[in-house]
Amino acid sequence: SEVGFNLYCRLLEEAIKELREEEEGKEKKEDITPVIDIKIDAYIPGGYISDLKQRVLIYKKLAEIKDLEDLERVKEELKDRYGIYPRELRNLLEIIYLKIFLRKLGIGSLVVKENKLILRYLQNAKIKAKLSRLPSFYQQRLIKEEHRLSGISKIDLSGIKFAEILKFLKEFVINLAKDSI
């Protein structure tokens, strides 16, 4: 709950800053760092990169990725130096992919909890408009709540196998980002 409150405060500060920048005619910078909370193994296994210093350097490179070109460059480097990535690293790379899109969309967090995807976002009107234009497959999964908090959307994930969650999230975010990236 401490983390949730801190995230709420950060999102609130960013929303206020965005409103002020809009009033001043400035464009919002893509400087948010989206939080992704999915219960999957996403790390660099010691068996893939045994040298701890090398692993730390790769983690630093991964943390600095800001766009798809950076991600592809690091993926190629990993494959060239260490071979085909194990599942845990593939998951980590998919999460970084999601973060790139979430940052561009202004989504502060993506949480998978109890068969639901919970999105918290800063640019309310823009995201709500994008959600309304999603293909019907995703529209049917949107959870309508009467007293829904502004800046939060929930998507039903029931029926999606746990192993397929990352694939679903990636396709969902790509569909959400259409026409804006």
Q: pLDDT for 34-49, tens place per residue?
A: 999 999 999 999 999 9
**CATH assignment, 2-177:** 3.90.1150.50
Alpha-helical segments (H) within 29-156: 52-63, 68-82, 87-105, 124-132, 136-139
CA atoms within 13 A on the CB side of 40: 24
Q: What is the pLDDT of residue 162?
A: 83
Q: Between vectors from CA 107 to CA 23 and to CA 35, what angle results, nearest 5°?
A: 130
For residue 66, the one-letter residue type is K
Q: For 57-116, what is each residue's pLDDT tens digit?
A: 999 999 999 999 999 999 999 999 999 999 999 999 999 999 999 998 889 999 999 899
Q: What is the pLDDT of residue 149?
A: 56
Instruction: Tell me the sheet residues that pair with 154.
Output: 118
For the chain, give me the number of helices (H) and strands (E)?
7, 4
Question: What whole-number distance in Å separates Cα of residue 119 and Cα of residue 34?
Answer: 10
Q: What is the pLDDT of residue 163?
A: 83
Domain boundaries, the chain: 2-177
CB 42 within 8 A of CB 88: yes
Q: How confident is the model at residue 158 (pLDDT cuts 50, 70, 90)?
A: very high
Overall pTM > 0.95: no
Q: For 113-154, what is each residue's pLDDT tens digit?
A: 989 999 988 766 678 788 888 899 888 998 876 545 568 889
